[in-house]
Amino acid sequence: MVRYLLFGAGAVGTLLGGLLAGAGHQVVFVGRRWNVEGIRSKGISISGVWGDYRIPPQSAYEGITDIPDSEKEFDAILICVKAFATGEAIHACLPLIRDETIVISCQNGYGNCQIIAATVGWRRTLGARLITGVELTEPGTVKVTVHADSIRIGHYLCDFPLSRIESIARTMCEAGIPMEATDRLEQYIWAKVLYNTALNPLGALLGVTYGDLAEHPETRRIMDRIMEEAFAVTSAHGIRQFWDCAEAYRQAFYENMVPPTAAHFPSMLRDLERRRRTEIGSLNEAICELGMQKGIVTPVNDTIVSLIRFREKLVLS
């Protein structure tokens, strides 16, 4: 049995923590009141493309300080909060981290592992890339709507034992979570960042699906420029990619990546509809900031960021 802290019990956190608890592991959930009350009173219900599961009520709290001392020892902490809350989350978890505790970022965007490692050290920090759509339909109830690839878990440092990562992946797989260990985490993280920067904010601004964006030349031109700027920036920083250039990525993007998720609406659109902050800071805004560090202009990404920030102001005011 592995002892997990699931910090950020939203859609993804409820899914992962629920399956781990259902497999017999000790899981403590921390999240928003309305969801943790459901997890604590009714348990967790999972449906969709990963299968149907019913997990009995679990330990769930609004904050770290609410966890009883008897439940405060953890082997692994899964961080599932929005990217803008990563720093606050890892500082909240810091008193619970022992020498052998592993912290796993299960988040969107660039920079989450770096923020975590700055607090707990790289030897305790792992990252996981998910391309799975999950909806939290009511307290304690999630639906897996789309699954494009196995979760990839890995480390940014070459000397971290791959065998340890493989052991974590096996435990997850045994719980019904499709996961593979990788020694190319940076490439997988950036592959998803590229995908999200092209589709997520533009789809949120226009209120359309990924398929709509790819179908029309007007929006394709904008996405093409977003990709070109992103590749110029990452190349200047020496960031490794699976593709040699923007043109190669663009071909894979339109032919292989968009079709399976063509009917999907952006998560950023849902954030705006629910009057919540978006993750633009770890996506297009990260591209802009990295560009400034190397003197590379990113006008299309700059414009996208400004428009999303304006929409955020409107919905949050």
CATH number of 3-183: 3.40.50.720
pTM of the predicted protein model: 0.94
User: How far apart are alpha carbons 307 and 151 in whole angstroms?
Assistant: 31
Catalytic residue among 42, 192, 294, 313: 192
User: How far apart are alpha carbons 213 and 220 in whole angstroms?
Assistant: 6
How do the pLDDT tens digits run along the chain, 317 residues long?
Answer: 999 999 999 999 999 999 999 999 999 999 999 999 999 999 999 999 999 999 999 999 999 999 999 999 999 999 999 999 999 999 999 999 999 999 999 999 999 999 999 999 999 999 999 989 899 999 999 999 888 889 999 998 767 888 999 999 999 999 999 999 999 999 999 999 999 999 999 999 999 999 999 999 999 999 999 999 999 999 999 998 999 999 999 999 999 999 988 988 999 999 999 999 999 999 999 999 999 999 999 999 999 999 999 999 999 99
290 in helix, strand or coil? helix
A 10 A CB-CB count for 284 gives 30
82 is catalytic: no
User: How far apart are alpha carbons 184 and 240 in whole angstroms?
Assistant: 9
**Domain ranges within the chain, ordered by starting residue:** 3-183, 187-316
Beta-bridge partners for 7: 30, 79
User: How far apart are alpha carbons 106 and 10 in whole angstroms?
Assistant: 12
Overall fold of domain 187-316: N-(1-d-carboxylethyl)-l-norvaline Dehydrogenase; domain 2 (1.10.1040)
**What was the pLDDT predicted at 128?**
98
User: How far apart are alpha carbons 314 and 277 in whole angstroms?
Assistant: 11
Q: Which residues contact 177 (CB under 8 A, 6 or more apart)?
A: 16, 19, 20, 151
Residue whose entry in the numeric block shows the structure tokens 């593709």: 243
